[in-house]
Structure 1
């Protein structure tokens, strides 16, 4: 007689986490784990901001993680660059070869760690690697490729990377979505914008491209790339001419108003229309809406600052809420980044003390081509 044995099903556990991608939403995750493997991934319904909803990319993260074509071992190039010839090697061999090449450098500054973002966790994303390269004395990398111009603009204009709480956009009566395809890249902001629209708010998209977001807004202003500052100054011009200003707020909470006023008056809508490639009447109507609707909010994003003069363009847009006193309302103002609300002790994470007094050069990652061609100071 043979006794049947009951099959054993490993227990399941859930792990709470957050999406580490370079995205403003930072969605809360619930991962179901069985026998050491993730078997299910979903949004956390108990997280108010993201409300259990994930974007298409992250909702399929397990499929990506377990994909048959995912690299699970290092590949070493065995042919000329561009030939696409690689062979798999073990981690031991790969790490030994990398270590040998690093040790062979006569000057530590010829080593440059070139990276940006990836996973954004503070420890994994920008901590352990910094410590390692500080210990080596490698060249420092100024990671400017994404958001530096806009971030510096906020710091010079508002004193830091500060802005509205995203959930308060749901209470706004006018929302300017400026340089942002929110449906594709800021899904949960779009949820609040839709709530505002259902409550009667107008949504205006300012973007050179007719994105999915532009298609769903009440109006699309298709300005030419790199002309955002001209549009912002023309809006200021109309606010001044028609006195749609909060003089008390300007007097109490701003600096440099006289100089900004002088510059803005040089940009009537006709001039901006010629530069931006949009009808003059559209600029005039937008200025009227922005100057007379309370509360009005701006959701600015980083695409518009990745051009020549992008930092000053972001500064011009960031000045607009102060002129109308939009910051008096929690559903008014603007949002580009709010990261200064959550300061991080980066020195503790990155350990610059490991440089031990050395002062290596800093290379701007946006001009890496110039650095690679610099034979006097090779990388």
Structure 2
């Protein structure tokens, strides 16, 4: 048996000893972004023996993260739920689950959903997701499987990927552009069409740890080895930042100020690409006037980076030809994130790095994918009167119309207030809502959802969310137990498509798409029969690769299909439905001055605004909570709240870590490994100190996603979900003006060494922590439309045309 070289092998073969080797790809579960890393599974007598990286994969080339390498432990873990289960509504929070059949489970769901829809209306059902299995399927789950308009990604302000996708659609008329790492070119880095970038900027993104959104992190290192310089914009010193030629350690939440200052430097020093600006950009003069209000000297005071360092970084990026920017989650997780993203897109544009080899690549979006995705989601199948009832539409039309789902913060408001109407049931689609993964103020979500008429869940393991809130549990498959497709970047900017090839069965688990289809046939049959009829695989093919001529049957033979999308598509008409050159925007150009933003009452130009809670915006709060808190950086071992049951993963990161600078720890009398109580005006939690100079004095970082599967699962303890729940410190409804963004990465806090009494209070139900008057910081405490909240020029929408 050759472990080192199976290059050229078919997608499946049988070894002499009867072991069946299957080539395919990984996606969630176990958790991962859609990178489609190549895997080889070895199955003997129907059981997975081991898993290896597939050296045939044109990009990943056999490299696998520890989450894939522990897939066998994940698949056969004794705590995994592998059969449908039910329990009585009055037993929520108690471990009184009983095994049932899929038919019975679907029958219970259909009976309750039908009753709710008939009595109260389909809009009173929520379909909640997190990052999800097989992409964020709130749309499919809500619109097509249930027939409700209220799909909902539970993170406050949709502060993960959604802002980036929406901003780029409004400014470019195209999905979020990713760095070009030659993933779609058959020759890879050596393809004659490709050019290695002279510089790669990682702005609020660490793809080596997370492969965020489909960017294979090792590709960045591959390109650095081939000569690319690396710039990191990150408050923390990460492993990748330690390799960088430039590391800009800005104060969290001040990205827009830094972006404006870099733009001003490039424009003032005439370092921009005149030809691209003149031919393809709209609003350059207005942009230049605006960013001139944020010179590097002013940004230095805001960001905590010396002015000359800002200028040097701007020059280095502008002079690198080509250059690319990978911007990530940290931009989404601020209330000023839309404007920070606007700055980053403007930097890419005015330096001429859009859709060029080695720059930021765009998708040819008019291959039918736009229409088929909306149809696949089922949005087009909803009656107009239901579409108009989406929660949050009136206040945040930019958010709701782009994401085609309810606004997360307004959904919690509806649960708590019955405005605009009362919610009667929730489907938790592969989201561990209560664990600190996405929801801000998770105890409020818990209290709001625990007494609803009917809740159900699909997931892999019993989670705090399932134990606390749900009446039916539907078990879903891992990536090697189903046939499906993984497109990089969720199909938005695809480099390649990879096949998930089923090689084993475990219990009665179903793939997520198969569950949508089968449940939809019973719960909302009109969306799955007649002219809408399809098999699960037809649905998968249409959703992921419709319009490309590819399907799973063809993809299985290739395992990975590289999709050559070409370059400079704004010159060839491949970005517009009319086939004309340019961008799919109101002006036909890349809009540095955004008419789309203006139409929603937002400033059409970028501006800087302080985080809602900072030493500058709330000095009175900073007196009590003097440390700047950032949360949620990725870990090699875990994907959000997943994996704490897996021994090898837990050995890597056994406890919820709280990074604190040596000087700050010494001043507090805290040693490495001490439990600490972290608190602010919104809540508290208990974490384990990691004393490190990776964070500067005055800055602390907390891990997210923690719960303890080994602890008591019944309420109120719920696997210890409240103990280390950092999202208890994240406020509800502090969003940007368009509805996007929330301050997960720019808050205030204080901390001290924990005492025994702290551990006794973690299971207290309710929202308000001891000593905090209710609603002291209500939703009107901070609004971006207050004139005094803006830092510098920010005219009313419409000015500056």
Q: What is the TM-score when the length of structure 2 is the normalising length?
A: 0.42
Render the CA deviation track for 1:82-113: whole Å, top value 9, x for unaligned. Answer: xx521221234544443333233211322111
Matched residues in 2 for 1:369 and 1:339: separation? 37
Q: Is the 8 A contact 2:159 2:329 kept in 1?
A: no
Q: 1:221 Cα deviation (Å)?
A: 0.9
Q: Distance in 1 between matches of 2:160 and 2:220?
A: 25
How far off is 1:303 after superposition? 2.3
Q: How does 1:1-379 map to 2 (within 5 A)?
A: 12-20=20-28, 21-73=31-83, 74=85, 76=87, 84-92=93-101, 94-105=105-116, 106-107=119-120, 108-120=122-134, 127=140, 130-134=143-147, 138-143=148-153, 144-161=158-175, 162-167=177-182, 171-186=196-211, 189-327=216-354, 329-332=356-359, 334=360, 340=365, 343=369, 345-352=372-379, 354-355=381-382, 358-360=385-387, 361-363=389-391, 364-367=406-409, 368-376=411-419, 377-379=421-423
User: CA contact under 8 A between 2:127 and 2:141: conserved in structure 1?
Assistant: no
Q: C-alpha displacement at 1:284, in angstroms?
A: 1.4
- Give the direction of change, closer, same or farther, for the CA distance of 1:56–1:328 in structure 2 (3 Å limit): closer
Deviation at 1:264, TM superposition (A): 1.2
State the Cα distance separating 1:298 from its structure 2 match: 1.2
Q: Residues of 1 paired with 2:306 and 2:229: CA distance?
A: 20
Cα RMSD between the aligned structures? 3.0
**CA–CA distance in structure 1, aligned partners of residues 112 and 267 of structure 2:** 62
Instruction: Report the alpha carbon displacement of residue 316 of structure 1 after superposing the two structures with TM.
Output: 0.9
Question: 1:3 aligns to what?
Answer: none
SS at match of 1:213: helix
Distance of 1:263 and 1:355 partners within structure 2 = 42
Closer, same or farther in 2 for the Cα pair 1:353/1:181, shift >3 Å? Answer: closer
| Residues 121, 205 of structure 1: alpha-carbon distance in 2 compared, 3 angstrom cutoff | closer
Distance 2:344 2:34 in 1: 19
- Between structures 1 and 2, the one with greater helix share: 1
The answer on whether the counterparts of 2:296 and 2:310 sit within 8 Å (CA) in structure 1 is yes
Matched residue of 1:177: which SS? strand
The 1:15–1:51 alpha-carbon spacing in structure 2 relative to 1, beyond 3 Å, is closer
Distance of 2:383 and 2:311 partners within structure 1: 58
**Per-residue deviation, residues 180-208 of structure 1 (Å, max 9, x unmatched):** 11221128643232233233332111012
Structure 1 runs not aligned, ≥5 long: 1-7
Pair 1:357–1:274, CA change in 2 (3 A): closer
How far the C-alpha of 1:24 sits from its partner, in A, is 4.7
SS of residue in 2 equivalent to 1:41 = strand
- Residues 184 and 338 (structure 1 numbering): CA distance in 2 closer, same or farther, change over 3 Å? farther
Instruction: Note closer, same or farther for the CA distance 1:240–1:351 as it changes in structure 2 (3 Å cut).
Output: closer
Change (3 A) 1:338 1:216: farther
Q: Secondary structure at the match of 1:114?
A: strand
Q: Check the 8 A contact 2:258/2:303 in 1, yes or no.
A: yes
Q: Which whole-Å CA distance do the structure 2 matches of 1:326 and 1:353 have between them?
A: 36
Structure 2 CA distance for partners of 1:190 and 1:355, relative to 1, 3 Å: closer
1:116 deviates by 3.2
Structure 2 CA distance for partners of 1:238 and 1:30, relative to 1, 3 Å: same
> How many Å apart are 1:257 and its aligned residue?
0.7
Q: TM-score, normalised by structure 1?
A: 0.84
Moved more, 252-261 or 303-312: 303-312
